[in-house]
Amino acid sequence: MCNDLIERLLSLDLLPIGPPAATGMFQPVKSDAIEYLETKYAAKLPDDYAQFAVEIGVSMFRSFVYASVLDKSIHEISGGRSWVQAELFLGSSPEGVENGSYDIVTTYENYGYRVPPGMLPFAESGNDLILIGMTQGLSGNERGRIYFWDSVEEVPDADDEDDPPQFEDYYDNVYLVANSFREFVESLKCFGEKYPDPD
């Protein structure tokens, strides 16, 4: 990952989670976790995010940090806002942290059938998720793009094996945030930098 993106994230008070935080050391995503996910998606992690995963991994912002959203149809469910909070990045659960909290593999196993096929949850936004396209997906150009997944508008009965949702139904609560992980990082702002009023 380019040093400028790391510096950008650190300037926004990105911190390690769990016991490593006491030393100030970040805990990268473990190689076996990356191998597992890449096998499940039959695709490599997008390059810019992959570098973040192996250098930073599980982490959270000390301050309220927001990303702008490219898909302005989010206005319809957000009271007019065009931003989402970036709360924490998933990775490999630090030692001493139970229940798979912050773990990217556990989150994949819990949500993989609830988000659009080919998209990986890699960050949290409150009760919602931020996804990265692992494959080209339905539109043919989703790989590497960043999306917001809104839990309130989730596809009903996503786990109903007898009457599963149609493929396109999984996109009803998903909004394009950025065209790449780099663009996502570059769009982040602290709450104090610019108050996120509705556009």
Phi and psi, residue 149, nearest 5°: -110, 115
- Helix, strand, coil share (%) of the chain residues, nearest 5: 30, 20, 50
Q: Which residues contact 156 (CB under 8 A, 6 or more apart)?
A: 165
Q: 67 - beta bridge partners?
A: 84
pTM over 0.85: yes
Block mean pLDDT (10 aa), the chain, length 199: 83 84 78 95 94 93 91 66 89 69 92 90 95 89 94 73 72 92 94 53
Report pLDDT for 180: 96
Q: What residue ranges do the domains of the chain occupy?
A: 3-190
Residue range 3-190, CATH number = 3.40.1580.10
CB burial class (10 A; 0-12, 13-18, 19+) of residue 15?
A: middle
